[in-house]
Structure 1
Amino acid sequence: MERDTLEFDAVILAGGRSSRLGGIPKQSLVYDGTSLLQRALDAAGGAAGLVVVGPESGVLPTGVLSCREDPPFAGPAAAVGAGLAALAQTGHARPFTLVLACDMPNVAAAVQALAKAIQPQETGMAGSDGVMAVSPDGRLQPLVGFYSTAALQRSVQDLASRGALTNGSVRTLLASLDVQLVTVPAGSTEDVDTWDDAAALGVASQEPRPGS
């Protein structure tokens, strides 16, 4: 597999409660005139199959799938599982799956760095299950990574069999995977959890902020 022919699907996570934003969906926030959801979709633009996991968020581009974790708000592990199941129904699962949260306005630079770094590995070699983003100051961002689709599916099945998929964390989901950490450009994995984060990143809301 050559770098320029990386075959992957993408799961975009857009189903959080946005509790620290007063319930305003993160995917609807706007940066440089574009919604954060659209920026995530653009960052994953090389994906052969693409699914957005979360509540209905308007018209999606042609070919982009939509689904919801069950039950809603069951956490990122359940959301990844729902996304993988939706992609599997197309009958064309790719070797890698890009897992990407929709709350990072500059994430395209991180995705590009990961795509350049990923290499085909033999079973048992370090990093054989994919690559995960880490910021220059050492902060891991598991919701920006290319992961082995087969390894993710096994992990989802294992957690589900133990009743641990619902409300499971993404770190728990990825704990059994052997991934390589890749340092990505500064600021590319900065996310929006609070209005202070949004202000610092230049992200705005098209809806009135609660209490404003």
Structure 2
Amino acid sequence: MTSYEPAGAAGADLAAPGADLAYDAVVLAGGAARRLGGADKPGVRVGGRALLERVLAACADARTTVVVADPRPTARPVTWAREDPPGGGPLAALGAGLRPTTARDVVVLSADLPFLTAGTVRRLLTALRAAGTDGALLTDADGRDQPLVAAYRASALRRELTTLTTAHDGLTGLPLRRLTAGLHLTRVPDPVASFDCDTWDDIAAARARIREHGPVLDEWISAVKDELGIELDVDTGVLLDLARDAAHNVARPGAPLTTFLVGYAAAQAGGGPEAVAEAARKATALALAWPDEDASDPKPGDTSGAQPGTDAG
């Protein structure tokens, strides 16, 4: 019999005192994607970012994130795991992903959720803790349970996985409903965050929604930061205001060039949000003063700016 104990003392939460909000995350990313013709679904881009990266961003504050799949480059470090044999189905993958975790609560996610956010994860954890149940999962637009967008008590998952392993001589090929049938669950309706991408039509719909209805600028900035390997949160409003001032007071091409120079200067100064803010402040002051430069010069015959004891002529 396989026992799904965590890597630690009898499943205890190893976090520091007061870390009762800590959680671990398990992301299942090793499916065959048959409805996508065997494509690398976690690597498919929606809104400029790979689906897997979007999910990892949503659970970025997890203490430990385990991705059940063959290893690949990711924007942030994760722990890799694999069910044995590979392709054994979601329950076998969950069993493998659960083993390295130690937190009391575990968020379980599929890797094909384009609209998952950190807010969704917090909502699930809050619902789980408020209800005192074994788990809290999202339901989709049709009211169907989505057990791979959920927060669970790790002890409840281990209990049920061990029971199923004993009853079926393993977890390979078992459907998820065998697990959820033994759990007391809280349901959280969310037709957007529960949307997953099983087909190319789903991918197309997700891309269209982000480009046409979503916060396009936020999506674009997140995609660029992922692509460039940047983990920096700055006040984009300050940079947009700077770009506007440079375009209005200097020249339109001044907007992108000025913001580039601000970024370069901030990198030279250490690269943190404070460095960006300080460089933006200086550049903004310069842009605002630019059209007033001529007005500040003394006019012909005006001696008011002459220093005492000097020849104004």
TM-score bracket for the superposition, by shorter chain length = 0.7 to 0.9
1:118 Cα shift? 2.7
Equivalent AA in structure 2 for residue 197 of structure 1: D
Question: Following superposition of structure 1 onto structure 2, how do residues 201-212 of structure 1 map, counting pairs within 5 Å?
Answer: 201-202=206-207
CA-to-aligned-CA distance 1:29-65 (integer Å, 9 cap, x gap): 1111111111111111221111000122224623x10
- More divergent stretch after superposition (138-147 vs 102-111): 102-111
Structure 2 residue corresponding to 1:103, chosen from 97, 107, 112 = 112
| Percent of residue pairs bearing the same amino acid type | 39
Structure 1 residue corresponding to 2:160, chosen from 155, 164, 175 = 155
Question: Following superposition of structure 1 onto structure 2, how do residues 8-157 of structure 1 map, counting pairs within 5 Å?
Answer: 8-59=23-74, 61-62=76-77, 64-87=78-101, 93-108=102-117, 109-120=119-130, 128-157=133-162
> Structure 2: which 5+ residue stretches go unaligned?
1-18, 209-313
Equivalent AA in structure 2 for residue 138 of structure 1: G
**1:209 alignment partner in structure 2:** none
Return the alpha-carbon distance in structure 2 between the equivalents of residues 80 and 9 of structure 1. Answer: 13
Return the alpha-carbon distance in structure 1 between the equivalents of residues 157 and 74 of structure 2. Answer: 28
* Structure whose CA Rg is larger: 2
Return the alpha-carbon distance in structure 1 between the equivalents of residues 61 and 147 of structure 2. Answer: 20
User: How big is the alpha-carbon RMSD for the aligned residues of Structure 1 and Structure 2?
Assistant: 1.9
Return the alpha-carbon distance in structure 2 between the equivalents of residues 8 and 74 of structure 1. Answer: 26
| Greater strand fraction, Structure 1 or Structure 2 | 1
1:120 Cα shift? 4.9
Return the alpha-carbon distance in structure 1 between the equivalents of residues 162 and 124 of structure 2. Answer: 26
1:100 Cα shift? 0.2
In structure 2, relative to structure 1, the CA distance for the partners of 1:7 and 1:116 (3 Å cut) is: same
Give 3-state SS (helix, strand or coil) of 2:204's partner.
helix
| Greater helix fraction, Structure 1 or Structure 2 | 2
1:66 Cα shift? 0.2
For the 8 Å contact 1:152–1:174, the answer to whether it is kept is no
- More divergent stretch after superposition (131-140 vs 74-83): 131-140
Equivalent AA in structure 1 for residue 127 of structure 2: A
Relative contact order: is structure 1 or structure 2 higher (C-alpha 8 Å, sep ≥ 6)? 1
CA-to-aligned-CA distance 1:158-183 (integer Å, 9 cap, x gap): 11112251111222122211111112
- The TM-score with structure 2 as length reference comes to 0.56
Structure 2 residue corresponding to 1:169, chosen from 175, 196, 206 = 175
Equivalent AA in structure 1 for residue 79 of structure 2: L
Count of aligned pairs between the two proteins = 188
In structure 2, relative to structure 1, the CA distance for the partners of 1:110 and 1:120 (3 Å cut) is: closer
- The TM-score with structure 1 as length reference comes to 0.82
For the 8 Å contact 1:110–1:189, the answer to whether it is kept is no
Residue 192 of structure 2 corresponds to residue 183 of structure 1: no
Return the alpha-carbon distance in structure 1 between the equivalents of residues 127 and 116 of structure 2. Answer: 16
Equivalent AA in structure 1 for residue 111 of structure 2: C
In structure 2, relative to structure 1, the CA distance for the partners of 1:165 and 1:115 (3 Å cut) is: same
1:136 Cα shift? 4.5
For the 8 Å contact 1:110–1:144, the answer to whether it is kept is no
Name segments (4+ residues, structure 1) moved above 4 Å.
none
Give 3-state SS (helix, strand or coil) of 1:167's partner.
coil
In structure 2, relative to structure 1, the CA distance for the partners of 1:200 and 1:6 (3 Å cut) is: same
Return the alpha-carbon distance in structure 1 between the equivalents of residues 79 and 178 of structure 2. Answer: 25
